[in-house]
Each structure stands twice: as C-alpha cells, then as structure tokens.
A and B are shown apart, each in its own frame.
Chain A
Amino acid sequence: MSKELEAIEQIGKQVESFKATLGEKADAKAIEKLTSDIETLSKGLESMTEKEIDKSIEKINTSLETMHKQVEKLLEEQAELKEKSGDTAKPFQLVKTEDVESFVKATFEGTTKTANKASIVIKAPETFGYPTFFTGGGSTDITAFTGRYVDPKLYERKRKRNLILDHFDIQVINVPTLIYLVKIEVGDTNPTSGDPGSAAWILSGAAKPKRSFRVTTGVAEAKKVAIFGTVEDKLLRDVPSLENWIREDFMDEMKEAINDGLLNNNPSIDPNAPLGLKTNAVQYTATPAYDNLIENPNYIDDIIAAIAFMAYNKEEAGIVFISSDVYYRIMHLKATDGKWLNNNLVYVNSQNELYIAGVHVVWADEEDVPSANILVVARDLGFKIKAYGSMVFERGLNGTDFREDKTSYRGYQEFLSYIPENRENSVLYDTFANIEAAIVLTTP
C-alpha cells in the first residue's frame, strides 16, 4: 500500500471516531458525504489529476476541521455537566441537543461550511466565588471543601485560686478516724483549774516545786466530698474527649468544695463537712504597743499589727491572706507627703511576692477573703488537715445503666481537720475595721 493510501485510510478511521464521539449530535449526511469523498479520493488516486486531488483533499480537510471543533465543544459541555452533577437539581444544560443539531445543519450545506450563517451563543463563564460556588444552602458543609482546625482546649470559666490546696500541707492517712493528743496544764489536786506548778530556783536542800499536767484527746472524723454523673454510651463513643472533660470537671468541682469546706465550714451548721480554718480563728485585740496608738492607720499598719498580735500570743505569722483588691491597693499606698510607702518593711521580690515585715502576703479570691477581711496563719499552724485516701475518679454501671446503655462516673475523697483549743491563736481572721478601731490613735 502506498503512503498516500495509508494516510487516506487513517483519515477514514478518524471520521469514524468523530462519528462515534458525536453520537446523535453528528450530522449523518455530512459524515456520509465526507466518507464518500474519502472513498472517491482513495479509488481515484491514480486516475485523478494533481489539481483534482488537491481540491478533494482541501475539501476533506475543511470538513474534518469543522467536525473536530464540534467534538471539542461537545467534550467541554460534557465536562461542565459532570461538574454540576453533585447538585440535586436537574443537570444544567449549557447547549441543548436541538441547538447543536441546528448548528451542524446550518454549518454544513453539503460539504461546504457556511459558518457565517449560524451561531450559538455560549454563556460567559461566571466568576468562582463564595456566594455562588457552594450550592445546596445549609445542607452543604463548606468545611468539607475548605477543611477546619478544632482547638482541642475546652474553654471554661476561670476558677478561683484554691487557698487551702495551694498553701497547706495535707498528709494522707489510711484510717477514717484521727485522735489528737492535747496537754492540759492543771494542778494535781484540782484537775480543772489548779496550779500545775513550774520549775523554780531554790535553796540547796529545800523542797523542790511540784509540777503536774493532764492529757486528753480530741477526735476528728473523715468527711466525704463527692460528685456523680451519668452519660449515654453513644455520647462517650462519639465524643472521644468527653471522659477527660468529665474527669477534669469533677476534679475541679471537688477541689472547690474541698476549699470551701476546709476554709469556711462550721460543723454545727453542716456536720457532713469538716471543720473550716476560719471557724475557730481568733479575732484581733490590740496589744500594748498598738493600743489606740497608731496615727491614721492603713492596710500596712493593720497587717503589721496583726503580725504583732500573733507574736504577742506566741505564734509566728507565716502567711497573710488578703483579697487581691487590697493586695494591689497596698502597692500604691502613699504617705501624706505623696511619697510611696515603699520602705524596708514592704517589698516585692523578683517573683512578685509581697512581704510586709518579713511575712509573706498572698492574695486570695474575694469569695475566700473579702476585701474587708484579713486572714493570718502561723508558720507552725495549729489547724491540721489530713486526707483519708487519695482523690478517686472512677466509672461503673449504676442502676439501669447496663440496660439503657449508660455509664456512670463518681468522684470522692475524704478529709479530716481539727485545731486543738490551745492552738487557736495560730489562725487570725478579722476585719481591717476591727483592727483599725483597736489601734487608731483618737484624740480625746
């Protein structure tokens, strides 16, 4: 076979391919004519003149070119329809079948292209933008296309400082009852009020002074703080972080309850909670050096007077708790001449810890120590706190949980607290007004 005949055969195959692609949109007459032209050229290749061959080839090429453009256009239309196929609405038709048919009909008259006689107006491409790109309204989740980042932190209200758990040593014991021993100095003849006697200087050979004391016990029972909640299993399965959130929430709630009970509770009012630090705390009374002798007292004077009161009562102040409000008020107290009251008695160290007269001053939440109040605890604190076992958080099935696909959570811990009566001076809780009323210099 000559090279020319091979080329004509390839052209024939191309026409068949176009015909298959265009399907129903193909112009049967035009294709038939084109096929016929190709066949004529193939058969008459040897008998036709060069001029006739050129003319025939030109005619075939023109028809092929037109058909190729049709195929390209059709493929574009199909791609566009495919993009819109996600929509539940009817597929959008850019060009209708009848438009293409009329276009092909008008474009080809016989084998001659008459493009000037027909046209199809194609809609101009729209701008891709948020308002139109995502269709389907609320049922379309845009983040499925854009992606999203979930901040793993669960934001919650900021909890207050925990005065008890942050500042007091709590030893863990393994029994629920605690007995503490108290020494009572009384005489051997009258066990309640007699003179216990004491050591004394004596003459050699003289009778030695008697000494006696008694002992007694105090008791503290463990009090339980607890919390409970039930969750559907499905929720636990679907929200993987939920159990951690429950744990943290239960722990935080219990810590707040522990702080509140061990700080404020009076067992006469709530016997289920332990003794609170403030309950048996002493009030301020003026010591001789302060007794209505301080001119225009301010917070610093009040705090030093409270420290002095503890020292006078043989206790050494360890921490002074005041509200955050008063804490910062102290920072800018000024003397009558306008100068800052920033002397060696009042200083802030490099860790922003305030010391007044060498005693650490700590700010507490307004709920625990209101702005009007001051709480001072001794370095060797008479108020003792023990925990009976560690804090527990555990899950289990409760009641109808198993039947109803639920899981229950519980948290609990037990505490004991006490202060021997002879160490009550180791905690002072009073108002600034009471201290100032006792120390203020008043003109007669």
Chain B
Amino acid sequence: MSNRLDNTRVVIFTEDYNPTGSKVLYAKEVKHYIHKDTVSKLEAKKVKLKATEFNEKAEVEKAKKALEESKKE
C-alpha cells in the first residue's frame, strides 16, 4: 500500500460540515477520502462523522470488476 492509501480514511459525515457557516465543505451521507491527520483534527472538534481505514483490497477488487465490465461493452 502506498503512503497515500495508508494515510487515507473513508469518512461519512452524519450532518453537513460547514465550519464557517458560508460554505458546506463535506456533504452528509457521502463518502469522503480524507487524510488521517485531518480526520483526527475534525474528531477533536467533535464533528459528527464516521471514519474507517481505506480498504485497499476491497476497493481494488471493485475497481477491477468495473474495469472488466467496461471492457465487455
């Protein structure tokens, strides 16, 4: 696994994240791929989110299947 994937977290916010009140940075119920350091800081701010490690194996399998499908078309 590269540094990139090792450091990435898959984050789902339970409510829109709008730190300044003027712009939504992260929409709720959508997968966001955020560096683990930033996730830690968001968690420290009590932002409502659910973070999981990036499952490279599963993601690669999914992408492989999609690639095979696209070649069939």
Q: Smallest CB-CB separation from B3: which chain A residue?
A: A424
Query: Is the CB–CB distance between A281 and B4 below 8 Å?
Result: yes
Bound-state Cα–Cα, A187 to B8, Å: 30
Interface residues of chain A: helix, strand, loop or mixed (majority): loop
Residues of B in contact (CB 8 Å), total 26
Chain B contacts for A438, CB-based, 8 A: 35, 37-38, 41
* Mask of B33-47 contacts with A, CB within 8 angstroms, 1/0: 111011001100100
Q: Smallest CB-CB separation from B40: which chain A residue?
A: A285
Query: Is the CB–CB distance between B25 and A433 below 8 Å?
Result: yes
Q: Smallest CB-CB separation from B64: which chain A residue?
A: A269
Query: Is the CB–CB distance between A437 and B3 below 8 Å?
Result: no
Given contact pairs A434-B34, A438-B38, A438-B41, A283 touches B7 in the complex (Cβ within 8 A): yes
- Residue in B19, B37, B45 whose CB lies within 8 Å of A285: B37
How big is chain A's contact interface, by range?
A: 20 to 34
Question: Which residues of A, 88-147, contact B by the 8 Å Cβ criterion?
Answer: none
Given contact pairs A270-B67, A282-B3, A437 touches B42 in the complex (Cβ within 8 A): yes
Bound-state Cα–Cα, A270 to B23, Å: 37
A417 interface residue per 8 A CB criterion: no
- Residue in A269, A281, A284 whose CB lies within 8 Å of B67: A269
A262 interface residue per 8 A CB criterion: no
Bound-state Cα–Cα, A434 to B4, Å: 14
Query: Is the CB–CB distance between B26 and A269 below 8 Å?
Result: no
Chain A contacts for B64, CB-based, 8 A: 269-270
Chain B contacts for A440, CB-based, 8 A: 19-20, 25
- Residue in A296, A424, A437, A442 whose CB lies within 8 Å of B22: A296
Chain B contacts for A442, CB-based, 8 A: 19-20, 45
A421 interface residue per 8 A CB criterion: yes
Query: Is the CB–CB distance between A424 and B2 below 8 Å?
Result: yes
Chain B contacts for A431, CB-based, 8 A: 32-33
Q: Closest CB-CB distance, B44 to chain A, in whole Å?
A: 10
Chain A contacts for B41, CB-based, 8 A: 286, 291-292, 438
A-B contact pairs, 23 of them (CB 8 A): A266-B60, A266-B63, A280-B3, A281-B4, A283-B4, A283-B7, A283-B35, A284-B38, A285-B35, A285-B37, A286-B37, A291-B41, A292-B41, A296-B22, A421-B3, A424-B2, A431-B32, A431-B33, A434-B32, A437-B19, A437-B25, A440-B25, A442-B45
The 7 tightest CB contacts between A and B, nearest first, are: A283-B35, A280-B2, A285-B37, A269-B63, A433-B25, A442-B19, A438-B38
